Structure 1
């Protein structure tokens, strides 16, 4: 493929021409660094601006994933040069400026896993539209969210979120060289990426860095989206006897990546504990102590109620069966019997963990609401999926939308993704009884032929009559994962991809997902919510329709539970 050279503030980058899934041309530039490598004394610290490089940066090769480990998987990724981004653009400025809308994506993974790699986030669907797509790599786990009490050590937490801010600043300075408009930037993300966006919307440090936001299945109010001070957690897991944070930090900065990842796995960060509502996870976003570089130093709910969050257009929503994710987590490890699982669905912020009577009462009410007179059993697992999705995702997401509407002035567009089809990749992982086989084949998708093998296995090993779109199922309709077989023009899958891509890119271009009636979008006009009841929900299915808030009763149940049990 032909090389293409682009100059940026730090130097020159070599990219290449590629083709989208319809055969149209676009340009790709991968592994572009936006900050110094966070190694040595920079480990755990906020990102440091990048110095210029000499020569031409090879943008035809993807950069490394940030180090991660969950379950018994091997440690993956590299710490050196992990702060990078992939940029894809439909057209480059030549003799005159080009100003296409910019879409910056933040991946999910529970703040513990994930990367910007094209094995999952291929640009071939979105680049059918005239946009510039940026997919950011950021630190996760202990490397991105170590949080110390001692202000003199300069590790207050949220380094992973600050990586995202650093990347957005780089975009503001350089994206015009790729044909992007720095005054029209939409940040979008899924799961932890969506929660990240919520945090960015609350911070004065991000003012002017983006102008629209799309939040897919994640909020700062989801129980798994908050971390804690964690020096003693990681020190204990590393086998240190020290309690002095200065000594702990010095040892951690000199420790090998493998030992850090092994220790991280020992600190309640393995699935399914990562998503237990009952625990504050060790590594995740925190409210920092007050200091000049703080990204977040106040409670998110107080910021929202004061109206001080950014007033920009927002799309936000959820998938119809988010809780099917529970099936995936429990298939990867041993968990308590289903009948004993409800205590883990009691949110940590009720502060009743030391009050057995209240716990028993709460469990009784939860059981009555979701299971009624039926037993908690494998035969009724669908009720558990609904419960897990409601407290893990839905309640926090709709609470966020209500607060945006009550205390803000910008339009809020709500959606429900309920589409089920051949591209629902994550649902296949959730319902199979052989997750490790499918996961291994998915990872091996970088090897020619394995993508077809994954598709074959997923059909053979996936078996479920449960209706709904699983957590992250919309991702494979926006991005082309390597495991997806080629999409035939005019096919069922083609129509699904076109719908979601059109809605998202319309919003990036115009701040409105349906600026006019469009046959491709079933001639629907999707309007912002009119009240805190969250009406006008766009249901994205095989056809696009506008519906009422069918989930409002379940959300109201958790509102009442918070009022009655929260200390």
Structure 2
């Protein structure tokens, strides 16, 4: 619409005019009775490390997030707050230096860590005022619900590119509790009503945005939630919680490499709870959860570090993940989606072509088909019959050319079963859930999907999980699609190629490619029989 372009131009002119002044005087914003002073770098102002709930320490450890009290006084908002406690990861050994470095980068975080970590960060075009009413992107980081921090994803790139596109937006990132601090599970946790704390943190952050983003120049009615990996999976849960009522907290969603997982209850988390209780010295306590609340930080952190990670043998059967608790998730997320309990907002949801290659190096000791069958029944589908396993082996054959990294022939044959396992794990954990969500919502709301097939020649990894992050934070062409979607609820525009909506009858995929043709439109029909089979297998036999 013409008036929108005129308004954007006026906002941009105001920002340009305000930039020299803001460089001389640090930007500030008033929240309640407090003044927060941030920083400006060129065309971008940032307000960092603002607490959005009361610190989850002391008596508030393992409790639902408590609303922040009215702000008062003065705050220096020029630096990120500490990361939430990270789980320690051990990268699989005997890898090439390049592969080991990439796997390590997916879980690395060198910033200070503290339980007092629930802070939010706002990046704005310099000179934005409370009258700017700009669209807002709220980013949830990934990391398998075990690691990750907002400080790894600065918003300067997004803001600068939005200004270049004449589509100015505001970027918000936040920390939320992860691993055992945020996703402890089990009967004791469920009885206390404190499951899925990380999701509750995110939800409370979205409420904070509704209350305060206007002071930074954002429009609270134009919020898009955006995430990658566990952050993207979190978005799926925000879309299905509360009976699909999003409470006006967001109007759209942009999801990269993560959809709802097939989990039926809290039972699967009990072994990890018991493991933490034992390691923390709480086994003899009459109230083990209270004992964990009172445990010294270093003791609890060490106990959580004992729990398997996604680089251990069980791989993507995550120890820490959201589980149905009767509150935030009232049922298996897959079931809720099949019942149509999904927020009616436009969304984008896409994957990388070779999602599971980084998570398949922990299973290199699986070298025979029988060992693979045992692995599947141990971790993925305990009740699978022999005929189910036979069909699975048929649909995911040992032939290297059929495995992941896909379309690389006999290359990347790390072990006789590696590419086969990577194909299976990628489809059951990423492609299948994405396709289930898209096909269930086709015709009900506007949806788009993509697949990233760049870096296919990267040895042993291909277009691996997380490889599309630089396509946004690069910046690169996906930055443009994101910005336009946040601004207009349509990812297409002057981005080089029209991105048609995804429909069951025409499941269009924007396909990012290496080479002279950077992208084209393909159909989401690859491995149709296999993906349908593993999806149904998990519907029939979901994780506990």
Which TM-score applies when normalising by structure 1?
0.76
Deviation string, structure 1 residues 373-399 (Cα, Å, up to 9, x no partner): 679963553333222211221112211
> Aligned residue for 2:260?
220
Q: Distance in 1 between matches of 2:395 and 2:522?
A: 24
- Matching residue within 1, 17, 31 for 2:49: 31
Q: How does 1:89-104 map to 2 (within 5 A)?
A: 89-94=124-129, 97-104=131-138
Tell me the SS of whatever aligns to 1:228: helix
CA, structure 1 residues 224+389, in 2 after alignment: closer, same or farther (shift >3 Å)? farther
Query: 1:547 — aligned with what?
Result: 522
Aligned to 2:501: 528
Alignment-derived partner of residue 349 in structure 2: 316
| Aligned-CA RMSD value | 3.2
1:456-495 correspondence to structure 2 within 5 Å: 464-465=458-459, 468-479=462-473
Cα distance between partner residues in 2 of 1:564 and 1:206? 29
Q: Which runs of 5+ in 2 are unaligned?
A: 1-22, 91-107, 163-167, 404-412
Corresponding residue for residue 504 of structure 1:
482
**Equivalent residue, structure 2, for 1:81:** 116
The alpha-carbon distance between structure 1 residues 18 and 556, as it changes in their structure 2 partners (threshold 3 A), is same
Q: Distance in 2 between matches of 1:113 and 1:534?
A: 37
Partner of residue 365 from structure 1, selected from 372, 388, 391: 391
Secondary structure (helix, strand or coil) at the match of 2:239 reads helix
2:328 aligned to which of 277, 281, 295:
295
8 Å contact from structure 2 (residues 52, 68) kept in 1 = yes
Residues 268-296 of structure 1 deviation map (CA, whole Å, 9 limit, x = unaligned): 3462346344xxx443212114xxxx322
Quickly say closer, same or farther: Cα 1:498–1:266, change in 2 above 3 A: closer
Whether 1:125 aligns to 2:157 is yes
1:145-544 aligned at under 5 Å gives the runs 145-147=183-185, 149=187, 154-204=192-242, 206-221=246-261, 228-229=269-270, 231-242=273-284, 244=286, 247-269=287-309, 271-273=311-313, 275-277=315-317, 281-289=318-326, 294-327=327-360, 329-330=361-362, 336-339=365-368, 340-345=371-376, 350-352=381-383, 358=385, 361-372=387-398, 378=414, 380=416, 381-405=418-442, 409-420=444-455, 464-465=458-459, 468-479=462-473, 497-514=475-492, 516=493, 518=494, 521-522=495-496, 524-531=497-504, 535-541=507-513, 543-544=518-519
**Residues 143 and 230 of structure 2 are in contact (CA less than 8 Å); yes or no, is this contact kept in structure 1?**
yes
The question of whether the paired residues in 1 share the 8 Å contact of 2:139 and 2:173 is answered with yes
CA contact (8 A) 1:237 1:267 kept: no
1:7 shift after superposition: 1.0
Residue 3 of structure 1 is matched in structure 2 by 26
Residue 346 of structure 1 and its aligned partner are, at CA, apart by 5.0
Counterpart position of 2:150:
116
Alpha-carbon distance change, 374 to 322 in structure 1, aligned in 2, over 3 angstroms? closer
Change over 3 Å in CA distance of 1:297–1:92 after alignment to 2: farther
Give the secondary-structure state (helix, strand or coil) at the position aligned to 1:538. strand
Partner of 2:145, secondary structure, is coil
Task: Tell me: CA distance 1:383–1:256, structure 2 relative to 1, closer, same or farther (3 Å).
Answer: same
Q: Which residue of 2 aligns with 1:487?
A: none
Cα distance change of structure 1 residues 225 and 465 upon mapping to structure 2, 3 Å threshold: farther
Instruction: Give the SS at the match of 2:231.
Output: helix
Deviates more, 1:467-476 or 1:54-63: 467-476
Paired residues of 2:311 and 2:359 also in contact (CA < 8 A)? no
Could you tell me how far apart the structure 2 residues matched to 1:77 and 1:414 are?
Answer: 36
CA distance in 2, matches of 1:365, 1:87: 50
Using the alignment, how far apart are the partners of 2:306 and 2:236 within structure 1? 29
Question: How far does residue 31 in structure 1 lie from its aligned partner after superposition?
Answer: 0.6
Q: Which residue of the partner structure matches residue 65 of structure 2?
A: 47
Please state how far the C-alpha of 1:364 moved relative to its aligned partner.
4.0
Match of 1:432 in 2: none
Report the alpha carbon displacement of residue 53 of structure 1 after superposing the two structures with TM.
4.0
Residue aligning to 2:10:
none
Contact persistence 1:219–1:225 (CA under 8 A)? no
Look up the match of 1:490.
none
Distance in 2 (alpha carbons) for counterparts of 1:409 and 1:563? 22
Whether the 8 Å CA contact 2:277–2:283 is kept in 1: the answer is yes
Displacement after TM superposition at 1:464 (Å): 4.3
Q: What is aligned with 1:494?
A: none
Query: Residues 175-234 of structure 1, C-alpha deviation per residue, up to 9 Å, x if partnerless?
Result: 111111100000010110011000000112642100000111111226799863454332
Number of residue pairs aligned between Structure 1 and Structure 2: 476
Q: Which moved further from structure 2: 96-105 or 254-263?
A: 254-263
SS, match of residue 13 in structure 1? strand
1:498-518 Cα offsets, whole Å, 9 max, x none, are 41111011111111111x4x2
Q: Give, in whole Å, the separation in 1 of the partners of 2:158 and 2:372.
A: 40
Cα distance in structure 2, aligned partners of 1:89 and 1:50:
23
Q: Encode CA deviations 1:398-444: one digit per residue, 9 max, x unaligned.
A: 11212222xx6211111111223xxxxxx9xxxxxxxxxxxxxxxxx
Residue 65 of structure 1 aligns to a residue whose secondary structure is coil
Q: Which stretch has the larger CA shift, 317-326 or 537-546?
A: 537-546
Aligned ranges 1:57-76 → 2 under 5 Å: 57-71=75-89
Secondary structure of the corresponding residue to residue 255 of structure 2 = strand
- TM-score by length of structure 2 reads 0.79
SS of residue paired to 1:316: strand
Matched residues in 1 for 2:535 and 2:367: separation? 24
Residue of structure 2 equivalent to 1:16: 39
Deviations along 1:328-358, whole A, 9 cap, x unmatched?
x53xxx8634433454345957441xx7xx3
**Distance in 2 separating the partners of 1:70 and 1:305:** 36
